[in-house]
Amino acid sequence: MRVDSVTKLDKLRNDYRKLIDTQKKRILVCLGPGCLAMGSDTILEEFKKVFSEKKVKDVTVESVKKTGCHGFCARGPLVVIEPDGIFYTKVKKIHVAEIVEKTLMNGEIIDKLLYIDPKSNKQIIDYKEIPFYAHQQRISLRNVGQIDPDNIGDYIANSGYAAMAKALTTMSPQEVIDEVSKSGLRGRGGAGFPTGRKWATCAKVESDTRYVICNGDEGDPGAFMDRCIMEGDPHSVIEGMIICAFAVGSREGYIYVREEYPLAVINLQTAIDAAREYGFLGENIMGSGLNFDIKISRGGGAFVCGESSALMKSVAGEVGEPRAKYVRSVVKGLRDQPTVLNNVESFATVPVILDKGSEWFASIGTKKSTGTKAFSLAGKINNTGLIEVPMGVTLREIIYDIGDGIPKGRKFKAVQTGGPSGGCLPEDKLDLPVDFDTLTEAGSMMGSGGMVIMDDQTCMVEVARYFLEFLVFESCGKCVPCREGLYQLYKLCTKICEGEATEDDIDLMEKLSKTIQIASLCGLGQSGPNPFVSTLQYFRDEYLAHIRDKKCPGGVCRKLITYKINDLCTGCLACIDVCPVKAITGKKKEKHVLDTDICDRCGACYAVCTFDAIDIE
Amino acid sequence: MIDIQLNGKMVKAEEGEMLLSIIRREGIDVPALCDHQAIEPCGSCRLCMVEISHRDWEGWKKHVTSCLYPAEDGLIVNTHTEQVLEIRRNILDLYLARCPNSKVIQKLAEEHGVYKTSFDKIPNADNCIMCYACTRICEVLGRSAISAVYRGHDKVIAPPFNEEPPDCIGCLSCAMICPTGVIPWSDENGVRTIWKKKFDLIVCEKCGKEIISRDFADYLIETRAIPEDYFKSCDDCKRIDLARKMGAIVLQAEEAKL
Amino acid sequence: MNYRLVVNPSLCTGCRTCELACAFYHTKDKKPGRSRIYPIAHAPDKFVPVTCLQCDDAACAKSCCFDALKRNETTGAIELNVEKCVKCRACVAACPFGCALIDEVHDEIIKCDLCGGSPACAAFCPTKALEYKKIEVKAASRQSA
């Protein structure tokens, strides 16, 4: 059935809304990456099974929906019962029968599945009242966790494709570009280039062929925002791309998905097929004359293919190596044709901007960084998960108000943003607002949204070494500063971690870093030294401790730490059982003895001791 | 024609001409290991980096590879600033760690004041500088028999699956264009060996000297319309042949006059 | 009317001054280059100074896959651009007269370039067996009788 007019779309929306209203209650089972890994798909199946066997008032099997990432990954698997917002956490398959019996049939809340606020010690029923959610403003994530990604009806009922219809039937391409420009939207992939300006430049190039590409490569370790949008709300990306195609004049679009996201490919393809059926993709969309279709292009497992010129080579079937971008890809991109490349989150935000207006969007966030940004909170933080906040919110608010601070009573040490291209910021920088420019001035960058929190048991030199190892592995190898330079930087960093470096080595690394930053061919190399440069800037004392004192203050670098058993030891034999090199000896109920010469600092004893009897020095 | 400023002097250039060709035309020496006139520039060696600014940029500068940057009106180029020289020195320092035995690299490094590397020699160091000249020249011939494989530090130039490249014609262009001469090849007893593949060599009918690989000759016959019998003798014998033919004509003409 | 290097073998005495002049004209890095002209005896005491014929439909230029051989319209010579040359030796093999050569000393491929318009061989030839002059080129004959 082709929906080729606004009237038809309006009717369809009303039909779908009525259908949803007939379900007095909706049971949303989160199938986001975290919950899915914990078996939430079995919970979904169990619900379906129960409803096919039992008759429950107001609820049928259609009321049970799988959704994308609801956000609070630390508390998953999550089950949310709408419209009341009843939020059940750490749900297991065995709880399903109880949920049906007590909550759905009798309106009773199951206390043991509720979230308990650690500050007030009170249980909270409605998830919107939980600080983790209350501080957020979900715009690009508006549908993620709320709708079934496989159901285009859910998307349409939630105003999906209305913005596309408005743009294609009532606006000119230039008006669309102007609206996006006025909104102040900047590329959410990390570089923050003004999206409107990118589209305008591409549209001006004289060419018969133009491409629209969505960058779904998301290579930063610890980032999963784009994954959740592609898996949980694929239509938002498609709608954004159609609007872009209309604005710049393109017939062919590609969504480039990294090889490691097979579920995103499946959900996107399902959405593309559904969009085609309604005529939202294909010929003469909405009667506007626009012919546009989208293909999915899969990556081969290379971080460098997130770089725009390498990505375009990969889409064309060539080896993903970047090229010098003195002639920009908006002028000569895929197959040497003008190409718009935008991030998943950027495309997902475009429909809302057209729907609610550029003024509304520009009123959120800060003057130079309008709107909101999605982040994936990971690492040593209590509330790991997927969040979205207005630009300008401080790091402290994110880490403490939303993230609820550091677990196990440990101290905050650093927050790493922007993936391998970013940097680490220490405690005294926590009041900086998060936006495109402020963090960059401080020596880090906001990046695509990955945020990793580190506690005092982290070694900042090891963090630098980890990211350098990653970048050496992922470097394409074309240019010398990156291929050789990052390699040598990594080797020197390893030397520091092993206590074999001198202070001259730090000077050499600083000199080398400057050259790599200036002389590298692409962004991977140019930002490669950032993990080292930023940790050196704020944690120089740690570097010097490794060199001068041959000690690792974070207690991580194996060659520089010693394990000792203190007087809290009760002689329980647990560490003796688990030590792989038999470095610990002792009898039951007697303080055990650890031979530091045999010990290889694997940390197994530390992990297993429940009496705090192992010290790491 | 446009005007750009090069090391303080105004020079004329074509719009869109790469900076390196303008720099060379003005006689300024900027190293460029991966650059060769027979192939498109690729910017992998980074040695040709120069500092650029523009009269509209209010003093803001950036560094670009001159082999790939197109000239535009109002551009300001500086090829030997302290920072540019520092970059070249550091890159050569890295090259010395990668190619410790290459005379070409050592000479170039010495010219820039770098006599030994500050880093550890990399494991399995050979003299390949990954300039891609060999793969690019093979592409120009339309053969693409070899390419860069693997990623990052493990990247090497190799034929597909490290086996005999089916598209190689034994022309030796890759070995000849290599700036550090690392591609091994040999001509022995009428057989050429390169990339583990053996090629029959055409030998001179008259003196037996080795001329060209059979496959390369076939390629030239087919794609460049060279008659097949041009390849039957070597250049020395062809000159002698020409002398004899011409000489016979002259003698004939002299006898006709008499 | 074109400029051509006109060769009159009946005047050639085989003194080889042309060979010397050519080698010295093409000196590079203080080392003389290989000569591009060779007086060769075709009979006792009868010589022909063999050099590039700057063919109209040159096999060398056709065989070069890298565009390194191009005609200089002013001098009439087919010039080899050393910067474009890859040294693949296709031209050495393809030239029917063996006039594209390998210079081992300078590690280059070479051919006669008419010294940019004033050939040294002609300037030094004592018998005028070699002359660089304007002639009408008739269709079939390439020698002056």
Q: Measured between CB atoms, does C48 come within 8 Å of chain B?
A: yes
**Is B31 domain-assigned?**
yes
Residues of A in contact with B147 (CB under 8 A): 319
Task: Check which CATH number belongs to the domain holding A572 and give it.
Answer: 3.30.70.20
Q: Are residues A399 and A298 in the same domain?
A: no
Chain B residues within 8 angstroms (CB to CB) of chain A = 42-46, 49, 63-65, 68-70, 83, 86-87, 90-91, 94-95, 97-98, 118-120, 122, 129-130, 132, 147-148, 150-155
Interface touch B230/C42, C-beta < 8 Å:
no
Residues of B in contact with A481 (CB under 8 A): 46, 91, 94
Low-confidence residues in chain A, pLDDT < 50 = none
Of C105, C92, C101, the C-alpha closest to C36 is C101
Q: Are A184 and A194 in contact (CB under 8 A)?
A: yes
* Residue B258 confidence class, pLDDT cut points 50, 70, 90: confident
Task: Provide the CA B77 distance to its chain's centre, in angstroms.
Answer: 26
Q: How far apart are CA A330 and CA A324, in angstroms?
A: 14
Q: How many of the other CB atoms lie within 10 Å of CB of B90?
A: 25
Residues of B in contact with A473 (CB under 8 A): 152
Q: Are residues A67 and A200 in the same domain?
A: no
Q: Are A499 and A597 in contact (CB under 8 A)?
A: no
Task: Check which CATH number belongs to the domain holding A481 and give it.
Answer: 1.20.1440.230
Q: Are residues B63 and B148 in the same domain?
A: no
Q: Measured between CB atoms, which of B45, B91, B155 is closest to A477?
A: B155
Q: Measured between CB atoms, does C42 come within 8 Å of chain B?
A: yes
Residues of A in contact with B17 (CB under 8 A): none
The predicted pLDDT at position A433 comes to 95
The predicted pLDDT at position A346 comes to 97
Structural domain boundaries enclosing B22: 2-80
Interface touch A484/B98, C-beta < 8 Å:
yes
Q: Are residues A319 and A356 in the same domain?
A: yes
Interface touch B238/C96, C-beta < 8 Å:
yes
Beta strands in A227-350 (DSSP E): 252-257, 282-285, 290-298, 339-343
Q: How far apart are CA A125 and CA B10, in angstroms?
A: 74
Tokens of A229: 């949008």
**Is B6 domain-assigned?**
yes
Task: Check which CATH number belongs to the domain holding A50 and give it.
Answer: 3.40.30.10
Look up tokens 């016979």; give the residue.
B248
Report the half-sphere exposure of A349 (CA within 13 A, side-chain side): 32
Q: Are residues A469 and A518 in the same domain?
A: yes
Q: Measured between CB atoms, does A367 come within 8 Å of chain B?
A: no
Interface touch A519/B63, C-beta < 8 Å:
yes
Interface touch B230/C94, C-beta < 8 Å:
yes
Structural domain boundaries enclosing A416: 372-458
Partners of residue A347 on adjacent β-strands: none
Q: Are residues A403 and A451 in the same domain?
A: yes
Q: Are residues B62 and B147 in the same domain?
A: no
* Residue B173 confidence class, pLDDT cut points 50, 70, 90: very high
Q: How many of the other CB atoms lie within 10 Å of CB of A375?
A: 26
Amino acid at B91: I
Partners of residue A257 on adjacent β-strands: A216, A298
Q: Which residue of C has its CA nearest to B253?
A: C145
Q: Are residues B68 and B144 in the same domain?
A: no
Structurally, how many domains does chain B consist of? 2
Interface probe, candidates B134, B135, B218, B238, chain C, greatest C C-beta count within 10 A: B238
The predicted pLDDT at position A352 comes to 97
Of A266, A355, A11, A345, the C-alpha closest to A157 is A11
* DSSP structure class, residue B122: P
Q: How many of the other CB atoms lie within 10 Å of CB of A388?
A: 21
Residues in CB range of A28: below 8 A, 6 or more apart: A65, A66, A67, A70, A79, A80, A81, A82, A145, A146
Q: Are residues A387 and A529 in the same domain?
A: no
Tens digit of each residue's pLDDT (9 = 90 or more) over B198-257: 999 999 999 999 999 999 999 999 999 999 999 999 999 999 999 999 999 988 888 888
Look up tokens 């030839």; give the residue.
C125
Would you say residue C132 has pLDDT above 50?
Answer: yes
* DSSP structure class, residue B43: -
* Residues of chain C numbered 54-113 and touching chain B (CB < 8 Å): 59, 62-63, 65-68, 81, 83-90, 92-101
Q: Are strands A593-594 and A450-455 parallel, antiparallel or unpaired?
A: unpaired
Tokens of A118: 């650690």
Tokens of C23: 């080698």
* Residue C144 confidence class, pLDDT cut points 50, 70, 90: very low
| Predicted structure pTM score | 0.90
* DSSP structure class, residue A306: G
Q: Measured between CB atoms, which of B87, B118, B148 is closest to A508?
A: B118
Q: Measured between CB atoms, which of C47, C59, C88 is closest to B226?
A: C59
Task: Convert A103-141 into a string of H (helix), E (strand) and C (coil).
Answer: HHHHCCCCHHHCEECCCCCCEECEHHHCHHHHCCCCCCC
Q: Are residues A205 and A308 in the same domain?
A: yes
Residues in CB range of A584: below 8 A, 6 or more apart: A565, A575, A576, A592, A593, A594, A595, A605
Q: What's the ipTM? A: 0.91
**Is B109 domain-assigned?**
no
Q: Are residues A333 and A430 in the same domain?
A: no
* Residue C138 confidence class, pLDDT cut points 50, 70, 90: low
Q: Which residues of B32-50 are buried (b: 16+ CB within 10 A; e: fewer)?
A: bbbbbebbebbbbbbbbbb
**Is B34 domain-assigned?**
yes
Longest CA–CA span in chain B (Å) reads 84
Q: Are A34 and A109 in contact (CB under 8 A)?
A: no
The predicted pLDDT at position B237 comes to 96
**Is A441 domain-assigned?**
yes
Last residue of a domain, one of A97, A129, A161: A129
The predicted pLDDT at position B28 comes to 95
The mean per-residue pLDDT over the stretch C24-28 comes to 94
Chain C: nearest CA to B127, how far in angstroms? 19
| CA–CA distances in Å: residue C139 to residues A546, C142, C143 | 86, 8, 11
Interface touch B95/A484, C-beta < 8 Å:
yes
The predicted pLDDT at position C142 comes to 52
Question: Bigger pLDDT: B125 or C63?
Answer: C63
Structurally, how many domains does chain A consist of? 5
**Is B157 domain-assigned?**
yes
Q: Are strands B49-54 and B75-78 parallel, antiparallel or unpaired?
A: antiparallel
Q: How far apart are CA A379 and CA A454, in angstroms?
A: 6
Q: Measured between CB atoms, does C142 come within 8 Å of chain B?
A: no
First-residue to last-residue Cα distance in chain B: 63
| CA–CA distances in Å: residue A179 to residues A172, A182, A238, A244, A548 | 11, 5, 19, 12, 58
| CA–CA distances in Å: residue B139 to residues A602, B18, B163, B174, C84 | 51, 21, 19, 10, 15
Look up tokens 């809340």; give the residue.
A109
Task: Check which CATH number belongs to the domain holding A252 and give it.
Answer: 3.40.50.11540
Task: Check which CATH number belongs to the domain holding B68 and give it.
Answer: 3.10.20.740
**Is A137 domain-assigned?**
no
Q: Are residues A481 and A449 in the same domain?
A: no
| Alpha helical stretches, state H, A184-261 | 195-204, 225-232, 234-248
SS3 A292: strand
Would you say residue B107 has pLDDT above 70?
Answer: yes
| CA–CA distances in Å: residue B30 to residues A274, A289, A369, B14, B41 | 57, 53, 42, 20, 15
Q: How far apart are CA A584 and CA A598, in angstroms?
A: 9
Would you say residue C139 has pLDDT above 70?
Answer: no
Q: Are residues A257 and A185 in the same domain?
A: yes
Beta strands in chain B (DSSP E): 2-6, 9-13, 49-54, 62-65, 75-78, 147-149, 156-158, 185-188, 191-194, 197-203, 210-213
Interface touch C10/B231, C-beta < 8 Å:
no
The predicted pLDDT at position A119 comes to 86
Q: Measured between CB atoms, does B207 come within 8 Å of chain C?
A: no
Of A46, A57, A34, the C-alpha closest to A95 is A46
The predicted pLDDT at position B254 comes to 85
CATH topology of domain C2-134: Alpha-Beta Plaits (3.30.70)
- To the nearest 10°, the Cα dihedral for B124, B129, B134, B137? 170
DSSP run (H or E) holding C89: none
* Residue C145 confidence class, pLDDT cut points 50, 70, 90: very low
A77 preceded by a cis bond (ω within 30 of 0): yes
Q: In the β-sheet with A385-390, what is the strand arrangement from edge to edge? A: A385-390, A372-379, A450-455, A412-417, A423-426
**Is B150 domain-assigned?**
yes
**Is B203 domain-assigned?**
yes
B and C interact (at least 3 Cβ pairs within 8 A): yes
Residue A26 φ/ψ, nearest 5 degrees: -125, 135
The mean per-residue pLDDT over the stretch C1-8 comes to 85
Look up tokens 């705090």; give the residue.
A612
The predicted pLDDT at position C137 comes to 63
The predicted pLDDT at position A1 comes to 82
